[in-house]
Amino acid sequence: MKAIVQERFGPPDVLRLVDTDLPEFGAYDVLVRVHAAALNPYDWHMLRGDPLVARLMGGVGLTKPKTRVAGIDAAGRVEAVGASVRGLRPGDEVLGFCPGAFAEYARAEADKVVPKLASLTFAQAAAVPMAASTALRGVRDVGEVRAGDRLLVNGAAGGVGTYAVQIAAALGAEVTGVCSTRNVELMRSIGAAHVVDYTTEDFTDTRAPYDVILDNVGNQPLSRLRRALTPTGTLVLNAGGSPGRVVGAVGPMLRAVVVNGFVRQRLRPLPTKQNREELLTLTGLIADGKLTPVLDRTYPLEDTAEGLRHVEQGHARGKIVITVA
């Protein structure tokens, strides 16, 4: 099969398109014929091996990439199933978490994929797993957003942000999206009641503080984020695209955990998970017309490096997707 491989840490130029063996799969796994795979900030962190503290924690590999074929989000058709797999069979269209997704075939644990809705293209379906799950967890579970709450999403035009705005609006929250000038109308079209253009306004200067802030960017100090919250508000910190080559988002998150013990506000890091129940909830919202994947652009498999460059620049509108077949 053809796959994008990475033998060492570095910029997108280190990626190569090669012919390699099909991935092995076990009794509780499925082999997926990948039709589309989404790009995430996670992928360029893995590509460059940063933040450096992640190497020491074992997340990306110490001196070379832990995973030769990158990618995690995919949509495609089941090619084969393990002996103990029930409920899936060859030919089924699925979406979910498929390690090694930047390839023609990827292995997935059977309980980490769910049926793809017929209404979604493979590109749209691939855009769902990581970003939409992160948004759902941040808004519903960690942020505990309820109807009538005032929620601000920093980084609202990105992959997680576009899902978070829609999910919060579906829950009945009053949503403010922070984005650049070119994305203002996009924010309104997906359910934001208010929009802050960060090129002309600083949302932390607000006189009407928010009940919940979901920060996907990491470009504001903790003190200013807290100032934009109500006295008992909740700050949800998403590590996704946070800058910093040495510690990345780890430093700010640790500071938030420490400060959290001394203030009335709730300062919460957003944990990462791969959860089937979340995927089913998300496909349910899509089926009900409450959630729609926002796609910026697609690239063919051989241009994965170019797609990662675009993601790393931090200005994607929604999701970037690799089309495989």
CATH code for the domain defined by 2-128+293-323: 3.90.180.10
At residue 91 the predicted structure's pLDDT band, cuts being 50, 70 and 90, is: very high
The 10s digit of each residue's pLDDT in 97-151 is 999 999 999 999 999 999 999 999 999 999 999 999 999 999 999 999 999 999 9
* CATH 3.90.180.10-classified regions of the chain: 2-128+293-323
What CA–CA distance (Å, rounded) separates 102 from 37? Answer: 6
- Residue 294 sits at φ, ψ, to 5 deg, of -105, 115
Range of 179-188, 238-247, 255-264 with top mean pLDDT: 179-188
pLDDT greater than 80 at residue 48: no
At residue 57 the predicted structure's pLDDT band, cuts being 50, 70 and 90, is: low
- The pLDDT score that the predictor gives to residue 71 is 93
| CA-wise closest residue to 155 among 228, 42, 239 | 239
- Name residue 307's amino acid: G
Helix 276-287 / helix 159-170 crossing angle, nearest 10 deg: 70
- The pLDDT score that the predictor gives to residue 247 is 47
- Kindly state the average pLDDT of the residues 83-97: 98
What CA–CA distance (Å, rounded) separates 213 from 237? Answer: 8
* CATH 3.40.50.720-classified regions of the chain: 131-269
Residues in contact with 112: Cβ distance below 8 Å, sequence separation at least 6, in sequence order: 96, 97, 98, 274, 276
Side-chain-facing half-sphere of 27: CA atoms under 13 Å: 2
What CA–CA distance (Å, rounded) separates 104 from 22? Answer: 9
Domain 131-269, architecture per CATH? 3-Layer(aba) Sandwich (3.40)
- The pLDDT score that the predictor gives to residue 274 is 93
What CA–CA distance (Å, rounded) separates 181 from 219? Answer: 18
What CA–CA distance (Å, rounded) separates 106 from 220? Answer: 38
Q: Alpha-carbon torsion 25, 105, 10, 238, what sign?
A: negative
Angle at 162 between CA 119 and CA 150, to 5 degrees: 125
With residues binned 3-state (H G I as helix, E B as strand, rest as coil), the percentages for the chain, rounded to 5, are: 30, 30, 40
Share of the chain above pLDDT 70, in %: 92
* H or E stretch at 320: strand 319-323
pLDDT greater than 90 at residue 200: yes
In the numeric block, the tokens 């994607």 are attached to 316
Residues in contact with 64: Cβ distance below 8 Å, sequence separation at least 6, in sequence order: 7, 8, 9
The 10s digit of each residue's pLDDT in 9-47 is 888 999 999 999 999 999 999 999 999 999 998 887 778
pLDDT greater than 90 at residue 240: no
Helix 159-170 / helix 129-136 crossing angle, nearest 10 deg: 50
Question: Two tokens at 15?
Answer: 């990626």
